[in-house]
A and B are shown apart, each in its own frame.
Chain A
Amino acid sequence: MIRLIILPFILLSLSALAVEERSLGKSPNGLLMGDAYTALADDDFTLFYNPALLARHKGFSLYPLNPSITATNIIKDPDRFSNTGTTTTSFADAAFNFPMHIGIDYSPGFKMGKFGMSAMVNYNTNFNLQNQVTPVLDIDHRFDRGFIAGYAHPLYGSFTTGKGGEHLALGLSVKYIEREAIYNSYNLTGISLLDALSQGSADAILNSLGKVNGSGWGADAGIDYVKSNGSQTFSLGLAILDIYTVMHTKDNPDNLEVQDQPMRINLGSAWKATMGAGFDLTVSADIKHLEQQMELMRRVHLGVEVGISPALSIMAGVNAIDNYSYGLKLNTGLIKIYAGFYGTEIGEKLGQQESDRFVIYFSLFHFGFDPLG
């Protein structure tokens, strides 16, 4: 039986796909658990992973301030730029195949019963210099603003985070995205880039590089199954993100298209054991991008979280075979902090190219209450 279940994945692993996931928001907890978070995301990032997890929520929760920063982990390869000399060539030699990333994410939101809403301000810029013969600078820049609102309904049973139970729930969400994007490759010594860099203002440079704006509405759907006997909790989730998200490009001189927001289908499961006194253990596994043909192991994300006390947890994970993540969470009630490192696959084929990054997240003044007890 197990072999029959695995067979489709093996068959579909014969061909590869594609570069980095175009997400609208990522939980730092998820990132530090190998992004195996589809069945666990009952936090402020629920709507970015699986709207069905809203069904686990009761009462009112507010997440007013929760910014996170992600950037290239330059300390993993500290010698790369230390002996580059003073020439452009030596610096570029060091920069080849060293993807640079900066991301800022701010997703304030609230949950009220099984309804949730999050704003999103998501800035992501990636640079990747490749090809020593004719250096090509890949620029992937997105600045998304908008909101997601969703609702989940238990199809049967009843479950509440922290209290246990069992349910199977269906969730739906709608979203609106305004996007500013540059997504192109430029010859480093070609006319396009040299011309752009000779422009006077930063805005003129971005416009010359092909900045386009667009907006669109979209929708997500998900299923959440969870069962808990109090000490152990098993959950399984299936999320179809951007099941129908259409971006419309605003007029621009070069008739460029704004980056679309492709559909993603993720299956995730998790098991959590609570041992009392704040000590708990969670393991999770996601199989992502069921909608695309790609190598099997590129889909697989695994994570673990060990709660040492109510205030401190350590997390670790792996995805696409050898992209490791690790970090910790410090929760003092009004202030919650995540910090750690994670790796993500960005090449065309499994193992081709990885981007090592760090993430720092602060959540201030998060609170929740349940008037019905």
Chain B
Amino acid sequence: MTGNWVANGLSQDLPAHGVMPGQWQGTDLAIWRAGSGRVSAWKDRCPHRGMRLSHGFVRGETLACIYHGWVYGTDGTCRHIPAHPAMQPPASIRAESFQVREQDGLIWVGPATAANAPPAVEGMVAVRSITVLATHEEVAAAAPELTATAPECLRGAVVAGPAAVDLCLVLQPKAGATVVHALAGAGADLVAASRWLETLRRTVESGVAA
């Protein structure tokens, strides 16, 4: 693994004031983008009553839990408890934070201790994320025209529709599945690339089923 960074989605799929679920090595995450554009990733659990924070809502630079509206700042500390509007919440109430790096159109999540950088995927545009019910190895085996440029990155030219497309697949392991975050060379036919991914998934999953 490259410093335990795990790709958790494409930047284009998390707009400002958005929150989405994620996963890091089996731990469920709430990943959210503040109004300023900053992305945070936390354990998907409000310390108050255990509600998933990925169901919450973003106002400005804060994420609030949908259950009781507890408000957390980008550093994970609780800023406000609506049931007690005049009270300053104790600093000990905080969501458990992960590190986030947003680069090359991808959102990477790592542990607080992760040191080195996630692998670079420069000069490409995002296609889409697609979940395949198969392992990393099975996905890789179904796309022999791609080669591994990093443990979680497959890259190469594929024939998608009428033309060749330069593709990079960044693989995210999940329980029972692999999420493929796909990027393509600039100017690529994105519809053709998306349909190539659909075919890849059908190929892999029919092979797995047989």
Check if A and B associate. no
Chain A residues with CB under 8 Å of chain B are: none
